[in-house]
Amino acid sequence: MGVAAIVLAAGKSERMGTLKPLLPVGTSNFLGTIMENLRRAGTEEIIVVLGYEAERIKPHLPPEAKWVVNQHYKRGQLSSLKAGLKLLPPDVGAFLMVLVDHPLVSVATYKAIINLLTRGAPIVLPKYRGKRGHPVGFSSKYIKELLDAPEDIGARFVIKKNQQSIVELPVEDEYVICNINTREDYEGYINKDIKGQG
């Protein structure tokens, strides 16, 4: 199998004050937009990790969606990634770690990361104007390291440990560094001309 994606949508969205996965963007919502763009980019499987208010989000998932509820989401992002990793097919070649608060990452960016992963890149980090962002692409060979990593440090534990394996991908997609955490962030980005979806 080729490249899968794990979408992390388990947090409480405390600073936003409402559920981020269901916030409107365009004709969809954060989670729906991300899943559609990942599909268009050619990911072969998408796993959504839910946690806080999972029962409110589930009805908004497409029927074919593969999902898991992380009961330990309060432990942080890596605990959710680990829940998703356990659902990956055994023959997966690589995967993207996608954050629900980066809903406007373009299809082109996803495609570029997937292309590098399929050509054998170990870890891919998109970079906009010198700043690393998301999503992060990992070869499947890092699954065990991620499962064993300390949850209080997160996936960056594995990234820091494998600096020599990182391929930085320069992109002209500002949304790789734009995590939408507050109502002000949301109003600022959503009121902009939402392009970059192709």
Tell me if 97 is assigned to some domain.
Answer: yes
Q: Buried b vs exposed e over 9-27: b needs ≥16 C-beta within 10 Å?
A: bbbebeebeebbbbbebee
CATH number at residue 98: 3.90.550.10
* pLDDT tens-digit map of 108-121: 999 999 999 999 99
CA 187 to chain centre: 21
pLDDT band at 145; cut points 50, 70, 90: very high
Main-chain dihedrals φ then ψ at residue 159, nearest 5 degrees: -65, -45
Beta bridge partners of 7: 48, 98
Tell me if 91 is assigned to some domain.
Answer: yes
What domain count does the chain have?
1
* pLDDT tens-digit map of 78-104: 999 999 999 999 999 999 999 999 999
Tell me if 86 is assigned to some domain.
Answer: yes
Tell me if 195 is assigned to some domain.
Answer: no
Global pTM exceeds 0.85: yes
Q: Are strands 45-50 and 66-69 parallel, antiparallel or unpaired?
A: parallel
pLDDT at 195: 43
Which residues span the domain enclosing 89?
A: 3-190
Contact 5, 88 (CB under 8 A): no
Contact 50, 57 (CB under 8 A): yes
Tell me if 167 is assigned to some domain.
Answer: yes
